[in-house]
Amino acid sequence: MLLCEVLLCEKGELRGVAMAMAMVVELLRNEEELVKELCRRLRRMNASRILDVGCGTGKLALFLAVHLSCEVIGIDIDAEKVAKARERAAELGFPSESVRFYVQPAERTMFADGYFDSVVSLKALHELADASRSLSEAFRILRHGGIICIIDWVKGTQTTRSHMHAPLYFSEERLVEEMRRAGFLCVRVEKKEDLMLAEGLKK
């Protein structure tokens, strides 16, 4: 299911972009509802600069750039995936000031304090070398009033128990605890089958 098609095809000048997006920005069925909700929350707060942590090949970052018309930066430690993300952005015609990708660890970024309106992550938190430090770093680079939104697998469900990375997954309770320890307030979690969307606020 492609969320980009309906939005973009309503605007004739973006029809070509919609066709390109249909080829490279596909959301899995179990991601779609939570990503829609993530977009709604970012839109409500008028987020204009977003960081995608563990961006991989740029799926979420490019999706947000299209749907929210904002500046999105993606970081990942996998240089090959970052190169692919840059290639996708170039194919879609995104200007460099709109979408950028860097090889960087989530635990230690190059960004200034309070640089971002929002930090997001799609099924990547469990793969980070140090999730606790990554959350603390996200808190540092968020502006006051900014939010973090994390979509990841729920530990211990009937389906996720068989996943290769299952031991690394977070339970709802542990993720809330880690986010609060990093400094986030008003932490809330919404679950959809085997995935959860966790949000926290930096006051």
Question: Tens digit of pLDDT for each residue in 178-189?
Answer: 999 999 999 999
Counting residues of the chain whose pLDDT is more than 70, the rounded percentage is 86
Question: Tens digit of pLDDT for each residue in 38-87?
Answer: 999 999 999 999 999 999 999 999 999 989 989 999 999 999 999 999 99
Model confidence at 4, pLDDT cuts 50, 70, 90, reads very low
- Domain map (residue ranges) of the chain: 29-201
**In angstroms, how far is the first alpha carbon of the chain from the final one?**
36
CATH superfamily of 29-201: Vaccinia Virus protein VP39 (3.40.50.150)
Question: Tens digit of pLDDT for each residue in 107-138?
Answer: 999 999 999 999 999 999 999 999 999 999 99
